[in-house]
Amino acid sequence: MIPQTYYISLSLLLFFIGVLGIFLRRNLLVLFMCIELMLNSVNLAFVSFSRTFQNLQGQTFVFFVITVAAAEATVGLSIILLVSRLRKSVEIDKLNTLKG
Amino acid sequence: MIEFGFFIFFALMAIGSALNLVLQRNPIYSALSLIIVIASMGGLFLLQHATFLAVLQIVVYAGAIMALFLFVIMMVDFEEEAHSSVSGGRTTIVLLILLAITGGCIWAITGSLSAPELLTADFSVKAISKGLFTTYVFPFEAIAVLIISSVIGALYIARKEEA
């Protein structure tokens, strides 16, 4: 039997790799993929807690997280498509209309 | 201890592909390694008796969402993307901070919780769908509305301007 802490550690590690990607990369598509990676790591934590406490609610929440991630992916990707059409680039450094 | 072997295999595959996702310069390779992360996550779900979610992970994530990603990568213009890379300066600082946080968290939680040996709860697809259609029927219907509106929104955002 694998201790639950292994799963939580793995989930943490993957989440921080996702955060690292958000910090390091400048490509909108890759940033979006990092967000998906973080969502996935949270799903892993949900499932492992659901297994530990023998409770199905965690898995139900993962179901909802996956569907919301699908909805988010459709809208986000169409926004990225629109940005690339308007700006001919998906680098976030070039999206400086608001002078941020 | 074959279960532990599978765990190590999936975990190493997930971590390696996640690092590859972050450090890879070409978005296509990032997307492919994200598919590997998702598939190994499905394996980890299977190890924890979450069969329904493992299938869902492969079908919805690796099948549908990542196909969408690959199509968008195909359509987005990567002409100027050639030297898009990891930005220099703060890389090491960020890396150090994150390593410290990760190490601290892992140290803090190690050895505090462990799952019971036997699965006593009902983790079948039947039990999950029963929950979805009784206790969680309102969120379930709300998700349907969300998906419809996101499809309509995506179509509206990504349409060609006709003026």
Q: Does B6 touch chain A (CB under 8 A)?
A: no
pLDDT value at residue A27 = 87
**Residue in B81, B132, B150 nearest the CB of A27:** B81
The model's pTM? 0.88
Q: What is the C-alpha separation between B83 and B107, in angstroms, rounded?
A: 38
Angle between helices A4-24 and B27-47 (to 10 degrees): 170
A24: which chain B residues are within 8 Å (Cβ-Cβ)? Answer: 22, 86-87, 91, 94
Task: Please report which confidence band the pLDDT of residue B113 belongs to, taking 50, 70 and 90 as the band edges.
Answer: low
B162, pLDDT greater than 80? no
SS3 (DSSP) at B119:
coil
Q: What count of CB pairs under 8 Å joins A to B?
A: 229
The answer, for A61 touching chain B at a CB cutoff of 8 Å, is: no
- In a mutational test of the B interface, the residue from A14, A63, A81, A95 whose CB has the highest number of chain B CBs within 10 Å is A63
Distance, in Å, from the CA atom of A74 to the CA atom of A82, rounded to the nearest integer, reads 12
Where are the strands (E) in B31-120, listed by range? Answer: none
Quote the ipTM score. 0.91
Q: Which structure tokens are listed for B34?
A: 């994200």
* Nearest CA among B37, B32, B129, B146 for reference residue A67: B146
pLDDT digits over B74-84, tens only?
888 765 444 44
Statement: residue A43 has pLDDT above 90: yes
CB hemisphere CA count around B45 (13 angstroms): 27
Confidence of residue A71 (pLDDT cuts 50, 70, 90): very high
How far, in Å, CA of B71 to CA of B92, rounded?
33
Q: Give the angle B99-A72-A58 at the CA atoms, nearest 5°.
A: 65
Cβ atoms of B27 and B73 within 8 Å: the answer is yes
Q: What is the pLDDT of residue B90?
A: 65
Instruction: Name residues 27-46 of chain B within 8 A of A (Cβ).
Output: 27, 30-31, 34, 37-38, 41, 44-45
Lowest mean pLDDT among A55-59, B107-111, B122-126, B133-137: B107-111
Better pLDDT: B86 or B68? B68
Q: Is A91 helix (H, G, I), strand (E, B) or coil?
A: strand
Q: Give the total residue count for chain B.
A: 163
pLDDT at B62 > cutoff 60: yes
> Chain B closest CA to A99's CA: distance in Å?
20
